[in-house]
Amino acid sequence: MTYERLFGGVVKEIAARRIALTVAAFVTVALTASACTSTTAGNATSTSASSRSGATSSSPSGTSVSPRSTASTSSKPGIKVHIKTLNSDGAQYGVGMPVIVFFSRVIKSGKALQDATKVTADGTPVTGAWYFETSSYYRGYPIEAHWRPKDYWQPHSQIHVDIPIKGLSGGGNYVFDDSLTLDFAIGASHVLTVDDSTHRLTVTSDGKPWGTFAVSLGASDTATRNGIKVIMERLPTVCMHDIAGSYYECGIKLDQRLTYDGEYLHAAPWNCVGYPGCVGPENNIGRGDSSNGCTNLRPADARKLYDFLEVGDVVSYPNANGRRMQIGDGYGDWNVPWSVWQTGGLIPSS
């Protein structure tokens, strides 16, 4: 039994599915979960690489003005569609991080967006595609689209994204009213594999073994999703609670978010004994599954991983005992087959 289970209940969402990530010095995040429900505690500062207004926009509401002309703009008046990105200019991400764009209207077609988008890695064109889904991340932006390559990004590369869509059609009477550019870096290829049969997490860095760590995943009634996840944000401490309100406990440390509803990698000193930082009384880490869906780690191991990993790094759960990870559960993009991804999802893009 883990600390979470000692205080009862499966942890559920208490706010919106989408979280608001901020790069302010002090962060207060009201989040909810079907697993380890959490909010940031006190003056905790998120180390998420994501930002609300990262890309350069040609719209006055963007971060900075970058006028451009588009040869294929429409001369007909239409319903304006504004876009903005989650990703930040100048940030560094792991190889699994998608480009995420939010739309102020539910457009009818993503074809113009798909055809206009140009992405390069170290100056070399990268082939990829947009995939649309509903969104509640920003009020007034009902859908979002993720752009990714067929395979993970090339590690140690500089990415440039050009989305010159101002004046282009979003299908029907919809017309885009801004264009965006985005520049960010991709770091080392950090890929984690969590084996539920051995209760071990292994890390490779640029294809070479880096470390192996004991874990405890979700109990049978609060199972951990299986599939490919991506680190979404990193917080030094969060508060966790259950939907019934039977507990609200702060100080859960070294948290790396994997889903919107609260699956984390995090330190769980209450679930191990005999190692530095472990306080028991339970000793399930490395032995059995007992959490509310999070990946429990010994404190020293959680520290090593927290200091080493970054937003966008890949965490794979090939045999976890929960349901399959979906794109809407977090950055679940890599669970969608490429042939399906190319169709555009919610909005057709071809």
Rounded average pLDDT per 10-residue block, the chain, 350 residues: 36 37 34 49 46 41 35 64 98 98 98 98 98 96 98 98 98 98 98 98 98 96 96 94 70 96 95 95 96 95 98 98 96 98 96
**Which DSSP letter does residue 334 get?**
G
Residues 236 and 248 in one domain: yes
Residues 208 and 321 in one domain: yes
Residues 170 and 219 in one domain: no
100/167 Cα distance (integer angstroms)? 20
* Tally of structural domains, the chain: 2
Residue 305 parent element (H or E): helix 299-308
| 341, part of any domain | no
- The residue range of the domain holding 69 is 56-85+96-186
| 337, part of any domain | no
Neighbours of 15 (CB within 10 A): 16
Residues 7 and 35 in one domain: yes
134/146 Cα distance (integer angstroms)? 11
| 293, part of any domain | yes
pLDDT computed for residue 248 by the predictor: 82
Residues 172 and 63 in one domain: yes
| 334, part of any domain | no
Residues 223 and 106 in one domain: no
* Structure tokens that stand for 220 in this block: 């049978």
Question: What's the CATH code of the domain at 27?
Answer: 2.40.440.10
Question: What's the CATH code of the domain at 100?
Answer: 2.60.40.3710
Residues 237 and 118 in one domain: no
Counting other chains too, the contacts that 18-23 makes at CB distance below 8 Å and 24 or more residues apart are 18/135, 18/136, 18/137, 18/138, 18/260, 19/137, 19/233, 19/260, 20/52, 20/137, 21/46, 21/48, 21/50, 21/51, 21/52, 21/86, 21/233, 22/46, 22/51, 22/52, 23/48, 23/51, 23/88
Stated pTM of the model = 0.83
| 320, part of any domain | yes
| 333, part of any domain | no
Last residue of a domain, which of 157, 186, 215?
Answer: 186
Residues 274 and 223 in one domain: yes
Residues 224 and 315 in one domain: yes
Question: What type of residue sits at position 66?
Answer: S
| 284, part of any domain | yes
Contact, 72 vs 168, CB < 8 A? yes
Last residue of a domain, which of 186, 215, 248?
Answer: 186
| 330, part of any domain | no
Residues 141 and 204 in one domain: no
Query: Quick one: CA dihedral 258, 259, 260, 266, positive or negative?
Result: negative
Residues 247 and 264 in one domain: yes
Residues 206 and 315 in one domain: yes
Of 17, 11, 14, 10, give the one whose Cα is nearest residue 326: 17
